[in-house]
Amino acid sequence: MGKNRGKSNSVFRTQISSFVIAGALGGTVACAANGDLDSSFGANGLALSDSGNFQISGDAGTPTLVQPDGKILTCTSVVTGGSSGRDMYVARFTASGHLDPDFSFDGHVTIDFDGGAGSDYCSALALQPDGKIVVVGTTSKNNSADFAVARLKDDGTLDNMFGEAAGGGLRTGKTTIDFQRGGGDSDSATSVAIQKDGQIVVAGYAATASGGRDFAVVRLNGDGSRDSSFTLTGKVTLGFNLPGSTSKDDVATSVKVDSAGRVVLGGSANKIGGNNDFAIARLLSTGLPDDDFDADGLATVAFDLGGATGMNNDQAFAMTLLGDKIVLVGAADISALAQTSNYDVAVARLLPDGSPDGSFGTSGKTLLSFDLAANAIDQPFAVAAQSNGKLLVGGYALAGSASDAFVVRLNRDGSPDNEFGAQGKKLFDFALHNPSQQAVTGVGLQGTQVIATGTVLLGTNLYRQFAIRMENDLIHASEFD
Protein backbone atom coordinates (compact mmCIF):
# COMPACT_ATOMS: atom_id res chain seq x y z
CA MET A 1 0.00 0.00 0.00
CA GLY A 2 1.02 3.60 -0.24
CA LYS A 3 3.03 5.05 2.60
CA ASN A 4 0.03 7.09 3.66
CA ARG A 5 -2.06 4.01 4.37
CA GLY A 6 -0.95 3.66 7.96
CA LYS A 7 1.07 1.24 9.98
CA SER A 8 -1.78 -0.09 12.12
CA ASN A 9 -3.38 -1.54 8.99
CA SER A 10 -0.17 -2.99 7.60
CA VAL A 11 -1.03 -6.60 8.45
CA PHE A 12 -3.84 -6.38 5.88
CA ARG A 13 -2.68 -3.57 3.61
CA THR A 14 0.66 -5.21 2.90
CA GLN A 15 -1.24 -8.29 1.77
CA ILE A 16 -3.53 -6.35 -0.51
CA SER A 17 -0.75 -4.26 -2.08
CA SER A 18 0.82 -7.43 -3.42
CA PHE A 19 -2.36 -8.87 -4.85
CA VAL A 20 -5.16 -6.31 -4.73
CA ILE A 21 -7.49 -7.88 -7.15
CA ALA A 22 -11.15 -8.51 -7.85
CA GLY A 23 -14.27 -10.37 -8.91
CA ALA A 24 -15.29 -13.47 -10.85
CA LEU A 25 -16.29 -14.50 -14.31
CA GLY A 26 -19.42 -16.53 -13.94
CA GLY A 27 -20.91 -18.49 -16.76
CA THR A 28 -24.53 -18.04 -17.71
CA VAL A 29 -26.77 -20.30 -15.70
CA ALA A 30 -30.18 -21.53 -16.58
CA CYS A 31 -31.78 -20.04 -13.49
CA ALA A 32 -29.86 -17.23 -11.87
CA ALA A 33 -29.89 -17.07 -8.09
CA ASN A 34 -29.31 -14.19 -5.73
CA GLY A 35 -25.61 -13.36 -5.80
CA ASP A 36 -24.95 -14.80 -9.27
CA LEU A 37 -23.38 -12.51 -11.83
CA ASP A 38 -25.83 -10.72 -14.12
CA SER A 39 -24.60 -11.75 -17.57
CA SER A 40 -26.31 -8.73 -19.17
CA PHE A 41 -23.83 -6.43 -17.39
CA GLY A 42 -20.46 -5.70 -19.03
CA ALA A 43 -18.96 -8.84 -20.56
CA ASN A 44 -20.67 -11.83 -18.95
CA GLY A 45 -21.22 -9.85 -15.78
CA LEU A 46 -17.77 -8.24 -15.50
CA ALA A 47 -16.71 -4.71 -16.50
CA LEU A 48 -13.04 -3.64 -16.54
CA SER A 49 -11.54 -0.17 -16.53
CA ASP A 50 -8.95 1.06 -19.00
CA SER A 51 -6.11 3.12 -17.54
CA GLY A 52 -4.97 4.45 -20.92
CA ASN A 53 -1.20 4.99 -20.81
CA PHE A 54 -1.03 4.63 -17.04
CA GLN A 55 -0.50 1.60 -14.83
CA ILE A 56 -3.10 1.17 -12.11
CA SER A 57 -1.26 0.64 -8.85
CA GLY A 58 -1.97 -2.19 -6.45
CA ASP A 59 -3.33 0.09 -3.74
CA ALA A 60 -6.62 -0.55 -2.05
CA GLY A 61 -9.32 1.90 -2.99
CA THR A 62 -12.00 1.31 -5.60
CA PRO A 63 -15.04 2.38 -3.57
CA THR A 64 -18.48 2.00 -5.15
CA LEU A 65 -20.63 5.03 -5.94
CA VAL A 66 -23.82 4.40 -7.91
CA GLN A 67 -25.42 7.53 -9.36
CA PRO A 68 -29.21 7.96 -9.53
CA ASP A 69 -29.04 7.21 -13.29
CA GLY A 70 -27.36 3.87 -12.53
CA LYS A 71 -23.87 4.88 -13.66
CA ILE A 72 -21.08 3.50 -11.47
CA LEU A 73 -18.08 5.47 -10.22
CA THR A 74 -14.96 4.04 -8.65
CA CYS A 75 -11.45 5.31 -7.97
CA THR A 76 -7.90 4.29 -7.12
CA SER A 77 -4.47 5.60 -8.18
CA VAL A 78 -2.25 5.19 -11.23
CA VAL A 79 1.51 5.05 -11.50
CA THR A 80 2.67 8.24 -13.21
CA GLY A 81 6.44 8.31 -12.89
CA GLY A 82 8.89 5.78 -11.52
CA SER A 83 7.76 3.33 -8.87
CA SER A 84 6.50 5.89 -6.36
CA GLY A 85 4.67 8.60 -8.31
CA ARG A 86 0.87 8.34 -8.29
CA ASP A 87 -2.13 10.33 -9.44
CA MET A 88 -5.75 9.83 -8.44
CA TYR A 89 -7.72 7.86 -11.01
CA VAL A 90 -11.52 7.92 -11.34
CA ALA A 91 -13.45 5.66 -13.72
CA ARG A 92 -17.13 5.64 -14.58
CA PHE A 93 -19.14 2.80 -16.08
CA THR A 94 -22.54 3.11 -17.71
CA ALA A 95 -25.48 1.44 -16.01
CA SER A 96 -24.97 -1.55 -18.34
CA GLY A 97 -21.29 -1.99 -17.46
CA HIS A 98 -19.28 -0.19 -20.15
CA LEU A 99 -16.82 2.65 -19.81
CA ASP A 100 -18.84 5.86 -20.06
CA PRO A 101 -17.82 8.06 -23.07
CA ASP A 102 -19.62 11.01 -21.46
CA PHE A 103 -17.05 10.97 -18.66
CA SER A 104 -13.86 12.59 -19.98
CA PHE A 105 -14.57 10.97 -23.41
CA ASP A 106 -12.96 7.65 -22.47
CA GLY A 107 -14.56 6.82 -19.13
CA HIS A 108 -11.70 7.77 -16.84
CA VAL A 109 -9.83 10.81 -15.54
CA THR A 110 -6.66 11.39 -13.53
CA ILE A 111 -6.18 14.09 -10.90
CA ASP A 112 -2.74 15.45 -9.97
CA PHE A 113 -2.34 17.46 -6.76
CA ASP A 114 1.41 17.75 -6.51
CA GLY A 115 2.65 18.48 -10.03
CA GLY A 116 4.22 15.06 -10.30
CA ALA A 117 6.48 15.59 -7.30
CA GLY A 118 4.80 12.98 -5.10
CA SER A 119 1.90 10.59 -4.86
CA ASP A 120 -1.87 11.14 -4.86
CA TYR A 121 -4.17 8.38 -3.64
CA CYS A 122 -7.95 8.20 -3.97
CA SER A 123 -9.84 6.49 -1.16
CA ALA A 124 -13.46 7.70 -1.34
CA LEU A 125 -16.15 9.27 -3.52
CA ALA A 126 -19.40 11.09 -2.83
CA LEU A 127 -22.12 12.56 -5.01
CA GLN A 128 -23.62 15.97 -4.34
CA PRO A 129 -27.33 16.59 -4.97
CA ASP A 130 -26.39 18.69 -8.02
CA GLY A 131 -24.56 15.72 -9.57
CA LYS A 132 -21.03 16.96 -8.89
CA ILE A 133 -18.57 14.31 -7.74
CA VAL A 134 -16.39 14.78 -4.66
CA VAL A 135 -13.12 12.83 -4.80
CA VAL A 136 -11.17 12.34 -1.56
CA GLY A 137 -7.79 10.92 -0.69
CA THR A 138 -4.25 11.86 0.20
CA THR A 139 -1.46 13.80 -1.46
CA SER A 140 2.07 13.15 -0.25
CA LYS A 141 5.53 14.48 -1.02
CA ASN A 142 8.70 15.35 0.87
CA ASN A 143 7.89 12.74 3.54
CA SER A 144 4.62 14.41 4.53
CA ALA A 145 0.98 13.99 3.52
CA ASP A 146 -2.23 16.03 3.55
CA PHE A 147 -5.93 15.46 2.98
CA ALA A 148 -6.71 15.97 -0.71
CA VAL A 149 -10.20 16.86 -1.98
CA ALA A 150 -11.24 17.47 -5.59
CA ARG A 151 -14.62 18.08 -7.19
CA LEU A 152 -15.56 17.01 -10.69
CA LYS A 153 -18.43 18.05 -12.89
CA ASP A 154 -20.61 15.29 -14.28
CA ASP A 155 -18.46 15.19 -17.44
CA GLY A 156 -15.29 14.47 -15.44
CA THR A 157 -13.71 17.93 -15.66
CA LEU A 158 -12.52 19.73 -12.54
CA ASP A 159 -15.10 22.11 -11.10
CA ASN A 160 -13.71 25.68 -11.30
CA MET A 161 -16.13 26.80 -8.58
CA PHE A 162 -14.39 24.63 -5.97
CA GLY A 163 -11.03 24.64 -4.26
CA GLU A 164 -8.11 27.00 -4.16
CA ALA A 165 -8.17 30.29 -6.04
CA ALA A 166 -6.82 30.14 -9.59
CA GLY A 167 -7.31 33.79 -10.57
CA GLY A 168 -10.02 35.53 -12.52
CA GLY A 169 -12.63 34.48 -9.97
CA LEU A 170 -12.07 30.82 -10.81
CA ARG A 171 -10.80 27.98 -8.66
CA THR A 172 -8.59 24.96 -9.28
CA GLY A 173 -11.19 22.31 -8.44
CA LYS A 174 -8.79 20.98 -5.75
CA THR A 175 -7.90 21.74 -2.15
CA THR A 176 -5.66 20.24 0.51
CA ILE A 177 -5.97 20.24 4.29
CA ASP A 178 -2.96 20.09 6.61
CA PHE A 179 -3.67 19.44 10.29
CA GLN A 180 -0.13 20.64 11.18
CA ARG A 181 0.31 18.59 14.32
CA GLY A 182 3.88 17.35 13.82
CA GLY A 183 4.82 13.68 13.90
CA GLY A 184 6.09 13.86 10.33
CA ASP A 185 3.03 15.91 9.42
CA SER A 186 1.42 12.85 7.82
CA ASP A 187 -2.35 13.22 7.44
CA SER A 188 -4.54 10.91 5.34
CA ALA A 189 -8.20 11.16 4.27
CA THR A 190 -10.08 7.88 4.03
CA SER A 191 -13.78 8.73 3.71
CA VAL A 192 -16.29 11.43 2.75
CA ALA A 193 -19.97 12.23 3.35
CA ILE A 194 -22.24 14.98 2.05
CA GLN A 195 -24.61 16.72 4.47
CA LYS A 196 -28.16 17.61 3.51
CA ASP A 197 -27.10 21.27 3.21
CA GLY A 198 -24.33 20.34 0.76
CA GLN A 199 -21.40 20.73 3.13
CA ILE A 200 -18.66 18.17 2.68
CA VAL A 201 -17.36 16.11 5.62
CA VAL A 202 -13.99 14.43 5.13
CA ALA A 203 -12.46 12.04 7.66
CA GLY A 204 -9.26 10.11 8.17
CA TYR A 205 -6.35 10.51 10.53
CA ALA A 206 -3.81 13.16 11.50
CA ALA A 207 -0.33 12.61 12.86
CA THR A 208 0.46 13.69 16.41
CA ALA A 209 3.64 15.32 17.64
CA SER A 210 4.56 12.08 19.44
CA GLY A 211 4.36 10.04 16.25
CA GLY A 212 0.92 8.53 16.80
CA ARG A 213 -2.31 9.29 14.96
CA ASP A 214 -5.75 10.55 15.90
CA PHE A 215 -9.14 10.47 14.21
CA ALA A 216 -9.35 13.62 12.09
CA VAL A 217 -12.31 15.27 10.37
CA VAL A 218 -12.78 18.49 8.42
CA ARG A 219 -15.99 20.09 7.17
CA LEU A 220 -15.91 22.14 3.98
CA ASN A 221 -18.31 24.67 2.54
CA GLY A 222 -19.62 24.25 -0.98
CA ASP A 223 -16.67 26.17 -2.45
CA GLY A 224 -14.08 24.03 -0.65
CA SER A 225 -13.28 26.51 2.11
CA ARG A 226 -13.30 25.29 5.70
CA ASP A 227 -16.54 25.70 7.65
CA SER A 228 -15.82 27.96 10.63
CA SER A 229 -19.03 26.87 12.38
CA PHE A 230 -17.38 23.47 12.86
CA THR A 231 -15.19 24.20 15.92
CA LEU A 232 -14.09 27.57 14.46
CA THR A 233 -11.27 26.07 12.38
CA GLY A 234 -13.40 23.55 10.48
CA LYS A 235 -11.16 20.75 11.79
CA VAL A 236 -11.44 18.28 14.67
CA THR A 237 -9.04 15.61 15.96
CA LEU A 238 -9.95 12.90 18.48
CA GLY A 239 -7.71 10.52 20.42
CA PHE A 240 -9.13 7.47 22.20
CA ASN A 241 -6.00 6.99 24.35
CA LEU A 242 -6.96 3.46 25.36
CA PRO A 243 -5.23 1.99 28.43
CA GLY A 244 -1.84 0.47 27.71
CA SER A 245 -1.42 2.05 24.30
CA THR A 246 2.09 3.36 23.78
CA SER A 247 1.64 4.58 20.22
CA LYS A 248 -1.73 6.32 20.73
CA ASP A 249 -2.47 5.27 17.16
CA ASP A 250 -6.15 5.79 16.23
CA VAL A 251 -7.33 5.73 12.61
CA ALA A 252 -10.75 6.67 11.18
CA THR A 253 -11.66 4.77 8.03
CA SER A 254 -15.31 5.81 7.57
CA VAL A 255 -17.59 8.80 8.06
CA LYS A 256 -21.37 9.18 7.87
CA VAL A 257 -23.80 11.97 8.73
CA ASP A 258 -26.91 10.70 10.52
CA SER A 259 -30.47 11.97 10.23
CA ALA A 260 -29.89 14.39 13.13
CA GLY A 261 -26.91 15.97 11.38
CA ARG A 262 -24.36 14.33 13.69
CA VAL A 263 -21.02 13.20 12.29
CA VAL A 264 -20.30 9.51 12.93
CA LEU A 265 -16.72 8.25 12.55
CA GLY A 266 -15.67 4.61 12.43
CA GLY A 267 -12.24 3.02 12.54
CA SER A 268 -9.76 1.50 14.96
CA ALA A 269 -8.14 2.56 18.23
CA ASN A 270 -4.82 1.31 19.54
CA LYS A 271 -4.60 -0.45 22.91
CA ILE A 272 -2.15 -2.42 25.00
CA GLY A 273 0.47 -4.42 23.13
CA GLY A 274 0.08 -2.37 19.96
CA ASN A 275 -3.23 -4.07 19.20
CA ASN A 276 -6.56 -2.50 18.21
CA ASP A 277 -10.30 -2.39 18.86
CA PHE A 278 -13.09 -1.22 16.60
CA ALA A 279 -13.65 2.44 17.44
CA ILE A 280 -16.57 4.83 16.90
CA ALA A 281 -16.92 8.54 17.58
CA ARG A 282 -20.00 10.73 17.24
CA LEU A 283 -19.88 14.50 16.99
CA LEU A 284 -22.58 17.10 17.21
CA SER A 285 -23.12 19.32 14.17
CA THR A 286 -20.84 21.87 15.88
CA GLY A 287 -17.95 19.39 15.91
CA LEU A 288 -18.06 18.81 19.67
CA PRO A 289 -18.25 15.23 21.02
CA ASP A 290 -21.81 14.00 21.57
CA ASP A 291 -22.11 13.13 25.27
CA ASP A 292 -25.26 11.12 24.53
CA PHE A 293 -23.05 8.57 22.80
CA ASP A 294 -21.34 6.37 25.39
CA ALA A 295 -21.11 9.39 27.77
CA ASP A 296 -18.15 11.04 26.04
CA GLY A 297 -18.82 10.61 22.31
CA LEU A 298 -16.38 7.69 22.00
CA ALA A 299 -17.04 3.93 22.02
CA THR A 300 -15.03 0.80 21.25
CA VAL A 301 -15.84 -2.82 20.36
CA ALA A 302 -13.43 -5.64 21.23
CA PHE A 303 -13.72 -9.18 19.86
CA ASP A 304 -10.63 -10.29 21.84
CA LEU A 305 -10.34 -13.75 20.31
CA GLY A 306 -6.59 -13.62 19.84
CA GLY A 307 -5.88 -15.39 23.11
CA ALA A 308 -2.85 -15.09 25.34
CA THR A 309 -0.48 -15.65 22.43
CA GLY A 310 -2.61 -13.79 19.91
CA MET A 311 -2.65 -10.11 19.08
CA ASN A 312 -6.30 -9.33 19.81
CA ASN A 313 -5.90 -7.02 16.84
CA ASP A 314 -9.43 -6.09 15.69
CA GLN A 315 -9.61 -3.41 12.99
CA ALA A 316 -12.66 -1.83 11.36
CA PHE A 317 -12.45 -0.75 7.72
CA ALA A 318 -16.01 0.21 6.79
CA MET A 319 -19.19 1.51 8.36
CA THR A 320 -22.81 2.16 7.48
CA LEU A 321 -25.90 3.40 9.28
CA LEU A 322 -29.16 1.50 9.69
CA GLY A 323 -31.50 4.26 10.80
CA ASP A 324 -29.89 5.40 14.03
CA LYS A 325 -27.94 2.16 14.51
CA ILE A 326 -24.25 1.94 13.56
CA VAL A 327 -22.70 -1.03 11.73
CA LEU A 328 -18.94 -1.55 11.59
CA VAL A 329 -17.16 -4.14 9.45
CA GLY A 330 -13.57 -5.25 9.77
CA ALA A 331 -11.27 -8.13 10.62
CA ALA A 332 -10.98 -9.83 14.01
CA ASP A 333 -7.94 -11.72 15.19
CA ILE A 334 -9.20 -15.23 16.01
CA SER A 335 -5.85 -16.79 16.89
CA ALA A 336 -7.25 -18.40 20.05
CA LEU A 337 -9.99 -20.14 18.05
CA ALA A 338 -7.76 -21.15 15.15
CA GLN A 339 -4.77 -22.08 17.32
CA THR A 340 -2.60 -20.01 14.98
CA SER A 341 -2.56 -16.51 13.53
CA ASN A 342 -5.77 -15.94 11.59
CA TYR A 343 -8.38 -13.28 10.85
CA ASP A 344 -12.09 -13.55 10.08
CA VAL A 345 -14.71 -11.11 8.85
CA ALA A 346 -16.13 -9.29 11.87
CA VAL A 347 -19.33 -7.24 12.02
CA ALA A 348 -20.61 -5.21 14.99
CA ARG A 349 -23.83 -3.24 15.42
CA LEU A 350 -24.36 -0.52 18.01
CA LEU A 351 -27.46 1.12 19.39
CA PRO A 352 -27.84 4.92 19.20
CA ASP A 353 -26.33 5.34 22.67
CA GLY A 354 -23.16 3.46 21.69
CA SER A 355 -23.99 0.20 23.48
CA PRO A 356 -23.99 -3.20 21.70
CA ASP A 357 -27.20 -4.12 19.87
CA GLY A 358 -28.24 -7.36 21.56
CA SER A 359 -30.63 -8.22 18.71
CA PHE A 360 -27.67 -8.63 16.34
CA GLY A 361 -25.45 -11.71 16.37
CA THR A 362 -24.06 -12.54 19.80
CA SER A 363 -24.06 -9.45 22.02
CA GLY A 364 -24.03 -7.23 18.97
CA LYS A 365 -21.22 -9.03 17.12
CA THR A 366 -20.91 -11.74 14.47
CA LEU A 367 -18.06 -13.51 12.66
CA LEU A 368 -17.83 -15.00 9.16
CA SER A 369 -15.18 -17.31 7.76
CA PHE A 370 -14.31 -18.68 4.31
CA ASP A 371 -10.99 -20.40 5.12
CA LEU A 372 -10.16 -21.30 1.53
CA ALA A 373 -6.92 -22.68 2.89
CA ALA A 374 -5.92 -23.69 6.39
CA ASN A 375 -6.03 -20.63 8.65
CA ALA A 376 -6.33 -18.30 5.65
CA ILE A 377 -7.15 -14.64 6.21
CA ASP A 378 -10.63 -13.38 5.27
CA GLN A 379 -10.60 -9.61 4.88
CA PRO A 380 -13.57 -7.25 4.36
CA PHE A 381 -13.30 -3.74 2.97
CA ALA A 382 -16.87 -2.58 2.33
CA VAL A 383 -20.41 -2.64 3.67
CA ALA A 384 -23.77 -1.40 2.40
CA ALA A 385 -27.32 -1.73 3.73
CA GLN A 386 -30.35 -2.78 1.71
CA SER A 387 -33.63 -0.99 2.34
CA ASN A 388 -34.85 -4.02 4.31
CA GLY A 389 -31.94 -3.82 6.76
CA LYS A 390 -29.98 -6.71 5.32
CA LEU A 391 -26.24 -6.05 5.06
CA LEU A 392 -23.90 -6.58 2.11
CA VAL A 393 -20.22 -7.04 2.95
CA GLY A 394 -17.41 -7.25 0.39
CA GLY A 395 -13.75 -8.24 0.58
CA TYR A 396 -11.34 -11.06 -0.26
CA ALA A 397 -10.64 -14.58 0.99
CA LEU A 398 -6.99 -15.59 0.87
CA ALA A 399 -5.69 -19.00 -0.17
CA GLY A 400 -1.89 -19.03 -0.36
CA SER A 401 -0.82 -16.54 -3.03
CA ALA A 402 -4.30 -16.55 -4.58
CA SER A 403 -7.42 -14.80 -3.41
CA ASP A 404 -11.10 -14.82 -4.29
CA ALA A 405 -13.34 -11.80 -4.03
CA PHE A 406 -16.46 -12.18 -1.95
CA VAL A 407 -19.79 -10.60 -1.21
CA VAL A 408 -21.84 -11.87 1.72
CA ARG A 409 -25.33 -10.94 2.82
CA LEU A 410 -26.50 -10.92 6.41
CA ASN A 411 -30.03 -10.94 7.75
CA ARG A 412 -31.14 -8.21 10.10
CA ASP A 413 -30.21 -10.36 13.09
CA GLY A 414 -26.64 -10.86 11.82
CA SER A 415 -27.10 -14.42 10.58
CA PRO A 416 -26.05 -15.37 7.02
CA ASP A 417 -28.85 -14.94 4.49
CA ASN A 418 -29.35 -18.38 2.98
CA GLU A 419 -31.23 -16.86 0.02
CA PHE A 420 -27.97 -15.28 -1.19
CA GLY A 421 -25.17 -17.37 -2.68
CA ALA A 422 -24.23 -20.42 -0.62
CA GLN A 423 -25.29 -19.88 2.97
CA GLY A 424 -25.13 -16.15 2.50
CA LYS A 425 -21.70 -16.16 0.86
CA LYS A 426 -20.70 -15.63 -2.76
CA LEU A 427 -17.12 -16.11 -4.00
CA PHE A 428 -15.79 -14.79 -7.30
CA ASP A 429 -12.74 -15.95 -9.26
CA PHE A 430 -12.25 -14.20 -12.60
CA ALA A 431 -9.27 -16.45 -13.44
CA LEU A 432 -7.49 -13.62 -15.29
CA HIS A 433 -4.06 -14.47 -13.90
CA ASN A 434 -2.29 -17.39 -12.27
CA PRO A 435 -2.39 -17.19 -9.32
CA SER A 436 -5.81 -15.61 -9.55
CA GLN A 437 -6.07 -12.56 -7.35
CA GLN A 438 -9.07 -10.31 -6.80
CA ALA A 439 -10.81 -8.39 -4.01
CA VAL A 440 -14.06 -6.50 -3.59
CA THR A 441 -13.37 -3.12 -2.01
CA GLY A 442 -16.72 -1.40 -2.60
CA VAL A 443 -20.38 -2.48 -2.57
CA GLY A 444 -23.58 -0.63 -3.41
CA LEU A 445 -27.01 -0.95 -4.95
CA GLN A 446 -28.21 -0.14 -8.45
CA GLY A 447 -31.93 -0.18 -7.90
CA THR A 448 -32.34 -3.56 -6.26
CA GLN A 449 -29.30 -5.13 -7.92
CA VAL A 450 -26.01 -5.47 -6.05
CA ILE A 451 -22.96 -3.69 -7.46
CA ALA A 452 -19.42 -4.49 -6.32
CA THR A 453 -16.17 -2.89 -7.39
CA GLY A 454 -12.55 -3.76 -6.77
CA THR A 455 -9.20 -4.36 -8.42
CA VAL A 456 -8.21 -7.41 -10.42
CA LEU A 457 -4.75 -8.67 -11.34
CA LEU A 458 -4.38 -9.28 -15.09
CA GLY A 459 -0.63 -9.93 -15.22
CA THR A 460 2.55 -9.30 -13.27
CA ASN A 461 1.98 -5.94 -11.58
CA LEU A 462 -0.85 -5.28 -14.05
CA TYR A 463 -4.08 -4.25 -12.33
CA ARG A 464 -7.46 -3.04 -13.49
CA GLN A 465 -10.52 -1.82 -11.67
CA PHE A 466 -13.62 -3.92 -12.08
CA ALA A 467 -17.35 -3.67 -11.53
CA ILE A 468 -19.79 -6.55 -11.31
CA ARG A 469 -23.56 -6.70 -10.98
CA MET A 470 -25.24 -9.49 -9.05
CA GLU A 471 -28.72 -10.87 -9.26
CA ASN A 472 -30.85 -9.76 -6.33
CA ASP A 473 -34.46 -10.86 -6.54
CA LEU A 474 -36.84 -7.95 -5.95
CA ILE A 475 -38.90 -9.94 -3.47
CA HIS A 476 -35.86 -10.49 -1.27
CA ALA A 477 -34.23 -7.10 -1.92
CA SER A 478 -37.17 -4.93 -0.93
CA GLU A 479 -38.88 -4.11 2.33
CA PHE A 480 -41.51 -6.75 1.63
CA ASP A 481 -39.50 -9.93 2.11
Cα Rg of the chain (Å, integer): 21
For residue 161, which amino acid is it?
M
pLDDT for 182 equals 67
pLDDT band, very low/low/confident/very high, at 245 (cuts 50, 70, 90): confident
Query: What does each C-alpha distance from 48 to 157, 186, 222, 452 come to in angstroms?
Result: 22, 33, 33, 12
> 3-class DSSP state for residue 196?
coil
Q: What is d(CA 24, CA 42) in angstroms, rounded to the nearest whole number?
A: 12
Q: What is the DSSP string of 92-151?
A: EE-TTSSB-TTTTTTSEEEE-SSTTSSEEEEEEEEE-TTS-EEEEEEEEETTEEEEEEEE
Q: What percent of the chain has pLDDT over 70?
A: 87
Give the alpha-carbon dihedral of 253, 259, 260, 263, to 10 degrees.
10
Q: Domains plus CATH for the chain?
A: 3-477 (2.130.10.10)
pLDDT of 1:
32
Cβ pair 55, 77 in contact under 8 A: no
Tally of CB atoms within 10 A around 399: 18
* SS3 category, 40: coil
How many whole angstroms separate alpha carbon 148 and alpha carbon 7? 20
The yes-or-no verdict on residue 108 having pLDDT over 70 is yes
- Spatial separation of the C-alpha atoms in residues 443 and 62, rounded to whole Å: 10
> Which pLDDT band holds residue 4 (cuts at 50, 70, 90)?
very low
Q: How many CB atoms lie within 10 A of CB 444?
A: 21
Instruction: Mean pLDDT check: name the lowest of 126-135, 152-161, 329-338.
Output: 329-338
Predicted local distance difference test score (pLDDT) of residue 15: 39
339 — pLDDT class (breaks 50, 70, 90): low
Assess whether pLDDT exceeds 80 at residue 423: yes
pLDDT value at 85 more than 50: yes
Q: Do 150 and 164 meet the contact criterion of CB atoms below 8 Å apart?
A: no
**Predicted pLDDT of residue 21:** 30
Residue 89 has pLDDT above 60, yes or no: yes
- For residues 328-351, give the mean pLDDT: 88
| 418 Rama class: left (phi>0) / alpha (psi -120 to 50) / beta | alpha
User: 104-118, 146-160, 195-209, 358-372: which range is least confident on average?
Assistant: 104-118
The pLDDT value recorded for residue 258 is 97
Distance CA 327, CA 179 (A): 28
d(CA 377, CA 311): 14
Q: Name the strand (E) or helix (H) holding 13.
A: helix 10-19
Residue that wins the pLDDT comparison between 223 and 241: 223
Classify residue 182 as left (phi > 0), alpha (psi -120 to 50) or beta.
Answer: left
Is the confidence at residue 452, as pLDDT, over 90?
A: yes
Tell me: pLDDT of 28 over 50. Answer: no
**What whole-number percentage of the chain has pLDDT above 90?**
72
The mean predicted confidence, pLDDT, of the chain is 88
Distance between CA atoms of residues 370 and 380, nearest Å:
11
Whether residue 8 is predicted with pLDDT greater than 80 in this model: the reply is: no
pLDDT value of position 19: 34
